[in-house]
Amino acid sequence: MFRGKVPNDLRNRGAQDILIAAVDGLKGFQQATEAAIPQTLIQTCIVHLLRHSMNFSGYKDRKAVAAALKAI
């Protein structure tokens, strides 16, 4: 599985610690990273968080929601 391949490849190349991993919300990636390098802090990429939040607004409200999220 690709999700487990990336952190395992990093560990196999000599990475002993990852401070923060910014991910795009792939399911299973957090568990795969924690299994390979347990002390890693997982943070969802802010761009992906903002894009995902737009899915919960109606089409008519998207401009207003985007303007409000721009401050973030």
Phi, psi (rounded to 5 degrees) for 51:
-65, -40
How far apart, in whole angstroms, are the C-alpha atoms of residue 6 and residue 1?
9
Structure confidence at residue 13 as a pLDDT band (50, 70, 90): very high
pLDDT surpasses 90 at 3: no
Domain hosting residue 46, numbered range: 2-69
pTM above 0.75, yes or no: no
Yes or no: say if 32 and 4 are a contact pair by the CB < 8 Å rule: yes
Is the CB of residue 7 less than 8 Å from the CB of residue 33? yes
The total of structural domains in the chain comes to 1
Residue with tokens 């890693």: 40
